[in-house]
Amino acid sequence: MSALPSIARFAPSPTGPLHFGSLVSALASFLDARQRNGQWLVRIEDLDPPREVPGASHQILKQLESHGLRWDGTVLYQSSRLEAYAAALESLIESGLIYQCRCNRQRLQSLGGIYDGHCSQLQLPHQDCAARLRVNSAPISFNDQIVGQYSQNLQAEVGDFVVRRRDTLFSYQLAVVVDDQYQAISHIMRGADLLDSTPRQIYLQQCLNFKTPEYAHLPLALNAEGQKLSKQNLAMGLLEGQESQHLWAALHWLRQSPPEPLQRQSVAEILDWATAHWSVQTVAESLQNSPAPEGY
């Protein structure tokens, strides 16, 4: 047993209601936290106003509540954290790790996703530029609870990456790292679509002298076309009044073998059963990206 408190989080973007895929992530991290008597926090990642759907934050929180996924403490909104992100950026600038980049979209696209350092020696002003963080060639490795050992050479596979966008919005990578530290998050369980962001986040933690949490990346629920369920490809929102069935379906999808009659019980009873039986090993051993159940 660790002496430090275990703190986990679920961090949705308010771009639409919860769907089956986001329910799976919320439920898995909730059960994992509850099984180790830890806290489970909710953070709304509302950093990108143009992508937000009015009312979505409220709707997501209502849906979590109706599924019995009650969070600890108060909800943290990234839109309230801009000063903290600016302070982190300032600290990176003082460390000499930041430069301004004015490469346009066309040039960046021609690079195929790996930035070539083109602007690193140009001493460009802040105006109308993106701020990039210098990386190096030391491999970043971590042991994911589900995926196992994962390693990335940021220089070869990513390049210097953006921490403040040209439109002045802070990047997801910077904000998430600053908030995980602020909320003292010890365990991060989330979808495998974020696996290849994790080395950038660990690198940022190292640059900012932050702690690195434990990571576990869940396989993804796919739609009929084999794409990740997401708001972008119009995954269906979860229907009200069927919360027990949704939880049961998510447990079944996570290979937790919920007994069939459990789906007719209350969400509290289902969550109690699921907490007692939660096995991240089963997820790790038996689950791969796989289709969502029919109807989701």
Q: Cβ of residue 116: shortest distance to Zn ion, in angstroms? A: 8
Comparing CB distances to Zn ion, the nearer of 56 and 101 is 101
Comparing CB distances to Zn ion, the nearer of 33 and 103 is 103
Q: Is the CB of residue 55 less than 8 Å from the CB of residue 17?
A: no
Using the contact rule CB under 5 A, the part of the chain among 40-48, 112-120, 135-143, 276-284 near Zn ion is 112-120
The residue whose two tokens read 């937790």 is 256
CA 282 to chain CA centroid, Å, is: 21
Q: Cβ of residue 169: shortest distance to Zn ion, in angstroms? A: 17
Q: Cβ of residue 119: shortest distance to Zn ion, in angstroms? A: 3
- The structure tokens listed for 11 are 């961090």
Comparing CB distances to Zn ion, the nearer of 118 and 252 is 118
Using the contact rule CB under 5 A, the part of the chain among 31-39, 113-121, 150-158, 237-245 near Zn ion is 113-121
Is residue 98 a contact point for Zn ion (CB under 5 A)?
no
Give CA separation, 52 vs 21, 41, 48, 75, in Å: 18, 21, 7, 17
CA distance 256 to 30: 14
Is residue 118 a contact point for Zn ion (CB under 5 A)?
yes
CA distance 73 to 199: 29
Comparing CB distances to Zn ion, the nearer of 118 and 166 is 118
b/e string for 99-114 if b means 16 or more Cβ within 10 A?
bbbebeeeebeeeeee
Using the contact rule CB under 5 A, the part of the chain among 29-37, 63-71, 119-127, 224-232 near Zn ion is 119-127
Q: Cβ of residue 117: shortest distance to Zn ion, in angstroms? A: 8
Sorted by sequence, the CB contacts under 8 Å of residue 295 that are 6+ apart come out as none
Is residue 163 a contact point for Zn ion (CB under 5 A)?
no
Q: Cβ of residue 101: shortest distance to Zn ion, in angstroms? A: 3
Name beta bridge partners: 132.
Answer: 99, 162
The DSSP output letter for 73 is S
- The structure tokens listed for 141 are 């490795």
Considering only residues 47, 60, 119, 235, which one is a binding residue for Zn ion as defined by CB under 5 A? 119
Considering only residues 60, 61, 64, 103, which one is a binding residue for Zn ion as defined by CB under 5 A? 103
Residues near Zn ion (CB under 5 A) are 101, 103, 118-119
